[in-house]
Amino acid sequence: MYDSMSKNATEFIDDDEILSTVAYAKENKSNRELIDSLIKRASEGKGLTHREAAVLLECDLKDEEEKMFKLAKELKQKLYGNRIVIFAPLYLSNHCINGCVYCPYHSKNKTIHRKKLSQEEIVKEVVALQDMGHKRLALEAGEDPINNPIEYILEGIKTIYSIKHKNGDIRRVNVNIAATTVEEYKMLKEAGIGTYILFQETYNKKSYEELHPTGPKHNYAYHTEAMDRAMEGGIDDVGIGVLFGLNMYRYDFVGLLMHAEHLEAAKGVGPHTISVPRICPADDIDPNAFSNSISDEMFEKIVAVIRIAVPYTGMIVSTRESKSTRERVLELGISQVSGGSCTSVGGYSKKESEDDNSKQFEVTDTRKLDEIVNWLLELGYIPSFCTACYREGRTGDRFMKLVKSGQIGNCCQPNALMTLKEYLEDYASEDTKKKGEILIQNEIPNIKSEKVREIATEYLKELKDGKRDFRF
Same domain, 218 and 126: yes
Q: Which pLDDT belongs to residue 400?
A: 81
pTM: 0.94
- What pLDDT score was predicted for residue 362? 75
What is the reported pLDDT for 357?
65
Same domain, 108 and 250: yes
More confident residue, 289 or 239: 239
Q: How many domains, the chain?
A: 3
Structural domain ending residue among the three candidates 303, 335, 366: 366
Tens digit of pLDDT for each residue in 177-216?
Answer: 999 999 999 999 999 999 999 999 999 999 999 999 999 9
Q: How confident is the model at residue 166 (pLDDT cuts 50, 70, 90)?
A: very high
Q: What angle do CA 38, 405, 231 make, to 5 degrees?
A: 90
Supply the mean pLDDT for the chain: 93
pLDDT at 349 over 80: yes
Give pLDDT, residue 283: 53
Is residue 207 located within the same domain as residue 184? yes
Question: For residue 291, is pLDDT > 90?
Answer: no
pLDDT score of 356: 61
Question: Which of the listed residues 366, 393, 417 is the one where a domain comes to its end?
Answer: 366
Query: In the predicted model, what is the mean pLDDT of residues 312-341?
Result: 95
pLDDT at 413 over 60: yes
How many angstroms from the chain centroid is the CA of residue 426?
26
DSSP of 390-454: HHTT--HHHHHHHHHHT-THHHHHHHHHHHHHHHHHHT--HHHHHHHHHHHHHHGGG-S-HHHHH
At residue 244's C-alpha, the angle toward residues 241 and 249, to 5°, is 105
| Beta-strand pair 196-197/238-241 | parallel
* pLDDT, mean of residues 383-390: 91
Same domain, yes or no, for 324 and 267?
yes
Residue 77 has pLDDT above 70, yes or no: yes
- How many other CB atoms are there within 10 angstroms of residue 366's CB atom? 14
Query: Does residue 403 register a pLDDT over 80?
Result: no
Q: Which of these three, 366, 382, 416, is where a domain ends?
A: 366
Q: What percent of the chain has pLDDT over 70?
A: 94
pLDDT of amino acid 389: 84
The answer on pLDDT for 342 being more than 70 is yes
pLDDT at 236 over 90: yes
Would you say residue 259 has pLDDT above 90? yes
3-class SS of residue 111: coil
Please check whether residues 44 and 140 belong to one and the same domain.
no
pLDDT of residue 437: 98
Mean pLDDT of 267-292: 76
- Residue 67 is part of which domain span? 9-76
Give the domain CATH number at 147.
3.20.20.70
**Residues contacting 412, CB < 8 A, separation 6+:** 80, 81, 83, 384, 386, 389
